């Protein structure tokens, strides 16, 4: 809450690394609480989310932390090897995972309780969208909208 107006303010939450780990595990909080009925109720964030197959990350420099200029920083490329999924409601549901087993090339498998099935290249493409393609789409759509003005 803002100490001046008492209202909520937009913010950006950041995590900075001085050194990047060999294996980067990212866990997103996709559950929250709804207090609109006076009692707290756990709710699930159902917004669509695209997961990049590759992610470029820069370690934080000792310079101004708000400086988004990562040109000077050494970039580390991480490649997804596993994605844990949840289906169902916030209070109940089912977890399953997509995993790229080591030594199996580009093959991905779905681990769902006792069933392990290989997933097709089409399903892999649905699950991932490369970061460069995602950024390229955003870049081209913003440049076409600015050039039409």
Q: How confident is the model at residue 112 (pLDDT cuts 50, 70, 90)?
A: very high
* 3-state secondary structure string across the chain: CCCCCCCCCCCCCCCCCCCCCCCCCCCCCCEEEECCCCCCEEEECCCCCCECCEEEEECCCCCCCCCCCCCCCCEEEEECCEEEEEEECCCCEEEEEEECCCCCCCCEEEEECCEEEEECHHHHHHHECCHHHHHHHHHHHHHHHHHCC
pLDDT of residue 140: 47
Q: Output 28 or 36, whichever has higher pLDDT.
A: 36
Q: What percent of the chain has pLDDT over 70?
A: 77
Whether 22 has a pLDDT exceeding 70, the answer reads: yes
Q: Is the pLDDT assigned to residue 37 strictly greater than 70?
A: yes
Cα-Cα-Cα-Cα dihedral sign, residues 38, 40, 44, 49: positive
Q: Given pLDDT bands bounded at 50, 70 and 90, which one contains residue 132? A: very low
pLDDT of the residue at 145: 43
Rounded to an integer, the average pLDDT of 16-42 is 83
């Amino acid at each position: 809450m803002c100490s001046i107006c008492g209202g909520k303010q937009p913010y950006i939450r950041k995590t900075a690394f001085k050194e990047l780990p060999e294996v980067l595990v990212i866990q997103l909080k996709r559950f929250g609480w709804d207090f609109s009925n006076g009692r707290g109720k756990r709710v699930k964030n159902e917004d669509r989310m695209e997961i990049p197959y590759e992610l470029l990350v820069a370690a934080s420099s000792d310079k101004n932390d708000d400086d988004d200029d990562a040109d000077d920083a050494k970039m580390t490329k991480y490649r997804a090897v596993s994605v844990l999924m949840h289906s169902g409601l916030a209070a109940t549901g089912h977890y399953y995972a997509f995993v790229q087993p080591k030594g199996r090339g580009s093959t991905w498998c779905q681990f769902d309780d006792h069933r392990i099935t290989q997933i097709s290249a089409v399903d892999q493409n649905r699950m991932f969208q490369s970061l460069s393609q995602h950024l390229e789409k955003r870049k081209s759509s913003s440049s076409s909208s600015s050039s039409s003005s």
